[in-house]
Structure 1
Amino acid sequence: MRIMAFDYGTKRIGVAVTDPLQIIATALTTIHPKDVIEYLKKYVSQEQVESFVVGMPKQLDGSDSQSAVHVKGFINLLKKSFPQMPIVTMDERFTSKMASASIAQSGLRRSKRQEKGLVDAVSAVIILQDYLKTIQS
């Protein structure tokens, strides 16, 4: 079964997913928050998903950042829409910077590297990879 991860933003949500063996995390899409539940219902009806992982924005001291309130609202929406699905949060500090650095090193054309949705999708992959490390150790 797959695990899905989300990098929530008020304009875009980056979505990543594992392979069925939960070894590799891959960027799936970037989607507008108003379309995410419909998209997930369709995806979950076609693929077996074991759990959701949501990146939780934190301050350097570990406390919730200002945008955490939006992420908590998203988590509540997920719980309401998928009541049986386990939802785990992961600290997402620095994932956007790591995603930007990874994209910059990838050799993509400059115009492609500047797509904001790409950063969100790669951030979701990093969140999912971090989660996989915690369950595999």
Structure 2
Amino acid sequence: MIVRKLKDIIGTEHDVDTPTWNSRRLLLKKDGVGFSLNDTIIKAGTETLIWYKNHIEAVYCIDGEGEVEVIADGTIYHIQPGTMYVLNGHEKHYLRATTRDMRVICVFNPALTGREVHDADGAYPLDESEAGA
């Protein structure tokens, strides 16, 4: 059984802070459960280019508001508490928090290793052990 508290993650190596988001990684690949779980703050007034070409991400908003804009067709989805979206088609998109910080819970498959940040394409790299799998 794994039990973790957010307060014990904040300020550690599993608390990844960037100019547009802050992701507290609660479950990682090394935990061996097949997915990772993050408690993430999308910072108010920011826009992040994201393209998870190597991962499937499910996102559940628990606080704040924002939007997801799918780049391929310009569709914009309003995100507010109680909204869930899944990037099951590896959609390249912009994620924006609007009037205040937006807090979301994110699940990734395959699991993240812990220190990932978006590359120039907006992707997280695939873990070397999964390349060619």
TM-score (norm 1): 0.25
More helix by share: 1
More strand by share: 2
TM-score (norm 2): 0.26
